């Protein structure tokens, strides 16, 4: 059994690394070609070009890993089937469970690696890439709705606010500045009472305490405007935070469930590929490459389709729906 385990691991990892390097290389070439006119127009140095390509490697890894493990499973298992090795294993009284266990363990390890990548390198690389390409600008404006209160903040800078406007039915409060001292204290403001769309009373004030989320909470809510730059931990905190203040932020929920579920795509697609092979299909090298691309394409498109439905259905369901469907098919194929 130990010999079989080593043989399976070596047989899977070789095509995995080869296809991983190939797919990453193709993605980088495509990115160079698509950005070539921009680089030439701005006369970008080779150092900045190389840095921009390096910053795209984490995202490329996120895409290439599930395709590579699926291709490795299809090509290696297909080769074993073509050489009647699977038949020999079965006739020797050895079940397919060791093969299923090894494929599951390797693909699950890759999935956990993508989860770690999502938490650390991916958001940082995305942010630095946007800054390098000039597409990330600082914007500290914030709009909130807490209960019946509509809140507009012109600028958030640490423990200070400016241009604060709070509106409710029949009332409007505006203040030039706000400071946080065990609560928000607004200064130099005006309070208006409104009836039938017209101001009927207006009072000025020098100081006024109001209830607003604390500076850390506001900073995290502001970060949600650039949700791709948040780690999974920050996304989860944003979800809990917005819920605690009664804020509806489906965008953070959708992004969290989508990125978490797609991190497990190597595990899902590897089991799906294994199920196809155990059904007796003999897949050659070129056919396995084409089949891996087709299955990955449909899986990715299903994820995007369900994500587009996040406004009308549960963000959790839209994020995990494709995984659940693919897993159900894989289990049906493997445990026939």
Q: Is the pLDDT of residue 267 over 90?
A: yes
Q: What does the pLDDT read at residue 139?
A: 65
Do residues 191 and 209 lie in contact, with contact meaning Cβ atoms separated by under 8 Å?
Answer: no
Q: What does the pLDDT read at residue 334?
A: 72
- For residue 110, the surrounding DSSP H or E stretch is helix 97-119
Residue 263 or 238, more confident:
263
User: Which pLDDT band, with edges at 50, 70 and 90, does 196 fall under?
Assistant: confident
Q: What does the pLDDT read at residue 115?
A: 93
DSSP 72-94: HHHHHHHHHHHTTHHHHHHHTT-
Q: What does the pLDDT read at residue 112?
A: 95
User: Which pLDDT band, with edges at 50, 70 and 90, does 268 fall under?
Assistant: very high
- For residue 194, the surrounding DSSP H or E stretch is strand 184-195
- For residue 219, the surrounding DSSP H or E stretch is helix 215-223
Q: Is the pLDDT of residue 246 over 90?
A: no
Which of 81-85, 105-109, 184-188 is the least confident region?
A: 81-85
Q: Who contacts 300 (Cβ-Cβ below 8 Å, separation ≥6)? A: none
Give Cα separations from 1 to 45, 84, 96 (angstroms): 55, 18, 12
Q: What does the pLDDT read at residue 94?
A: 60
Cα-atom radius of gyration of the chain, to the nearest Å?
27
Q: Is the pLDDT of residue 3 over 80?
A: no
Sheet hosting strand 184-195, strand order edge to edge: 142-146, 149-157, 160-168, 171-180, 184-195, 198-210
Q: What does the pLDDT read at residue 178?
A: 92
Tens digit of each residue's pLDDT (9 = 90 or more) over 11-45: 888 889 999 999 999 998 888 888 877 777 777 78
- For residue 310, the surrounding DSSP H or E stretch is none
Instruction: Go through 24-58 and write b for each residue having 16 or more CB atoms within 10 A of its CB, e for each that does not.
Output: beebeeeeeeebeeeeeeeebeeeeeeebbebbeb
What's the average model confidence in pLDDT over 222-241? 81
Residue 279 or 171, more confident:
171
Residue 228 or 327, more confident:
327
- CA of residue 196 relative to chain centroid, distance: 46
Q: What does the pLDDT read at residue 313?
A: 82
Instruction: Go through 299-334 and write b for each residue having 16 or more CB atoms within 10 A of its CB, e for each that does not.
Output: bbeebeebbeebeeeebeebbbbbbeebbeebeebb
Q: Is the pLDDT of residue 68 over 70?
A: yes
Q: What does the pLDDT read at residue 240?
A: 80
Residue 233 or 87, more confident:
233
- Here the contacts of 312-318 (C-beta below 8 Å, separation 24 or greater) are 315/250, 315/253, 315/254, 315/256, 315/257, 316/253, 316/257, 318/254, 318/257, 318/258
User: Which pLDDT band, with edges at 50, 70 and 90, does 133 fall under?
Assistant: confident
Mean pLDDT of the chain: 83
What's the average model confidence in pLDDT over 262-280? 85
Do residues 29 and 73 lie in contact, with contact meaning Cβ atoms separated by under 8 Å?
Answer: no
Tens digit of each residue's pLDDT (9 = 90 or more) over 312-326: 788 888 889 999 999
Which of 19-23, 38-42, 146-150, 155-159 is the least confident region?
A: 38-42
Helix (H, G, I), strand (E, B) or coil at 284: coil
Q: What does the pLDDT read at residue 89?
A: 62
Cα 221 to Cα 126: distance, rounded to the nearest angstrom? 19
Cα 220 to Cα 237: distance, rounded to the nearest angstrom? 8
Q: What does the pLDDT read at residue 91?
A: 63
Q: What does the pLDDT read at residue 220?
A: 77
User: Which pLDDT band, with edges at 50, 70 and 90, does 131 fall under?
Assistant: confident
User: Which pLDDT band, with edges at 50, 70 and 90, does 95 fall under?
Assistant: low
Cα 100 to Cα 89: distance, rounded to the nearest angstrom? 13
Do residues 165 and 158 lie in contact, with contact meaning Cβ atoms separated by under 8 Å?
Answer: no
């Amino acid at each position: 059994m130990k010999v079989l385990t080593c043989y399976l691991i070596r047989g899977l990892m070789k095509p995995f690394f080869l296809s991983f390097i190939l797919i990453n290389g193709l993605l980088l070439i495509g990115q160079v070609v698509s950005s070539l006119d921009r680089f030439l127009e701005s006369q970008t140095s080779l150092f900045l070009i190389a840095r921009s390509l390096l910053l795209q490697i984490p995202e490329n890894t996120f895409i290439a890993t599930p395709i590579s493990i699926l291709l490795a499973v299809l090509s290696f298992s297909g080769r074993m089937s073509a050489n009647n090795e699977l038949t020999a294993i079965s006739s020797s009284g050895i079940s397919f469970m060791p093969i299923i266990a090894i494929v599951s363990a390797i693909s699950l390890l890759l999935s956990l690696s993508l989860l770690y990548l999502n938490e650390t390198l991916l958001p940082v690389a995305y942010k630095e890439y946007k800054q390098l390409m000039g597409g990330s600008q600082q914007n500290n404006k914030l709009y909130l709705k807490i209960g019946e209160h509509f809140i507009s903040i012109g600028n958030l800078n640490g423990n200070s606010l400016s241009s604060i406007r709070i509106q409710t039915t029949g009332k409007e409060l505006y203040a030039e500045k706000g400071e946080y001292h065990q609560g928000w204290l607004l200064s130099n403001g005006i309070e208006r009472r409104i009836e039938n769309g017209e101001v009927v009373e207006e009072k000025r004030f020098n100081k006024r305490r109001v209830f607003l989320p604390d500076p850390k909470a506001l900073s995290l809510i502001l970060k949600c405007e650039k949700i791709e730059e948040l780690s999974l931990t920050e996304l989860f905190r944003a979800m809990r935070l917005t819920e605690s203040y009664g804020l509806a932020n489906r965008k953070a929920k959708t992004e969290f469930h989508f990125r978490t579920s797609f991190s497990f795509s190597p595990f899902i697609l590897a089991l799906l590929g294994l199920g196809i092979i155990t059904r007796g299909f003999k897949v050659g090298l070129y056919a396995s490459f084409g089949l891996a691309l087709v299955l990955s394409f449909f899986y990715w498109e299903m994820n995007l389709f369900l994500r587009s439905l996040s406004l009308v259905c549960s963000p959790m369901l839209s994020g995990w729906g494709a995984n659940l469907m693919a897993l159900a098919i894989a289990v049906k194929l493997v445990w026939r």
